[in-house]
Amino acid sequence: MSRIEDDVRLAYVIAIGIMMTFVVFIIFVVLTYNRKQLLYLKEKQLKEAEHQNQLLQKELEKQKSLENERERISHDMHDDLGAGISALKLQAEFLKQKAGNDDMIGDIDELLKTSEEMNLSMREMLWSLNPGNDTLGSFINYGIIYAENFLRKTKIQLLSESEDIVLETPISTEWRRNMFLCLKEAVNNAYKYSQADTVKLSFVQEEKDFLMKISDEGIGIDPGKPGGNGLRNMKRRMQELDGVFEILPVEKGTQLAFKTKI
């Protein structure tokens, strides 16, 4: 009887040993598989990261190439067109001195006016092409300079103020162009329709939020009249920037507000 019990006990121990060996083998296989899977995933992530880095590098090289091309065009326009417009203006002024009748002097004055407008348009284009101007500070400075030059020969006085502006905040070329065209249209409308003595430019930055306001104390906008192309264009440009264009209520005059992210 004792021998049978010993045999049973031995068989039981052997069975437990086999089961433990099998369990250890299963754990080993699972751990080995998981390790290989982990190595495979890491290798896959590494390859994906390398691929993304290559795409990013190509995009940066493309962006740099575009910036270099913009800068080259800007320099060429400055050297060629700028010199040509200056020569045209100089020649017109020389002819004006020699002109003998009022009609010819009037025609030459028109030519001088046209050359000045071309020169101003060229400077705007050069500014928009230069990638070095893709900062908030550059946009604000140029906007104020433009408005000062535009209103210089009028009775309108320009005022400006800035609040919490981080000058080196980067902006996109599209953002800069659309915001400048809104500023340009608003200043032009104030000159043409407001009958105001002053125009005020206000710029406010709150982290990634930017607010630009152009206001005057003129006759205001008649709410009974439909908005013109200028107002529609400003609204469309702000929509392109996912921003908001508003005509704010004021006691006197007009106040236009342009709100957008930067």
For residue 43 the two structure tokens come to 């290798």
Mean pLDDT score, 105-113? 75
pLDDT of res. 97:
73
For residue 96 the two structure tokens come to 């004006």
Mean pLDDT score, 122-134? 76
Place of tokens 């908001």: 244
Query: What Cα–Cα distance (Å) separates residue 170 from each residue in 95, 123, 203, 225?
Result: 47, 21, 16, 39
pLDDT level of residue 74 (50, 70, 90 thresholds)? low
* Mean residue pLDDT across the chain: 82
Mean pLDDT score, 64-91? 63
pLDDT of res. 73:
64
Each residue's pLDDT tens digit, 139-177: 999 999 999 988 988 899 999 999 999 999 999 988 998
* Cα–Cα distance for residue pair 94/216, rounded to 1 Å: 40
pLDDT level of residue 82 (50, 70, 90 thresholds)? low
DSSP 262: -
Domain covering 134-262: architecture = 2-Layer Sandwich (3.30)
* Cα–Cα distance for residue pair 257/220, rounded to 1 Å: 14
Query: Residue 199 burial (CB < 10 Å; 0-12/13-18/19+)?
Result: buried
Whether 95 shows a pLDDT value over 80: the answer reads no
**Alpha-carbon torsion (143, 146, 151, 152), positive or negative:** positive
Instruction: Give the count of alpha carbons within 13 A of 10, CB side only.
Output: 6
Mean pLDDT score, 208-213? 96
**Which residues 6+ apart lie within 8 Å of 164 measured at CB?**
204, 205, 206
* Cα–Cα distance for residue pair 120/126, rounded to 1 Å: 10
Whether 226 shows a pLDDT value over 60: the answer reads no
Instruction: Give the count of alpha carbons within 13 A of 165, CB side only.
Output: 18
Which of 16-20, 202-206, 209-213 is predicted least confidently? Answer: 16-20
pLDDT of res. 134:
87
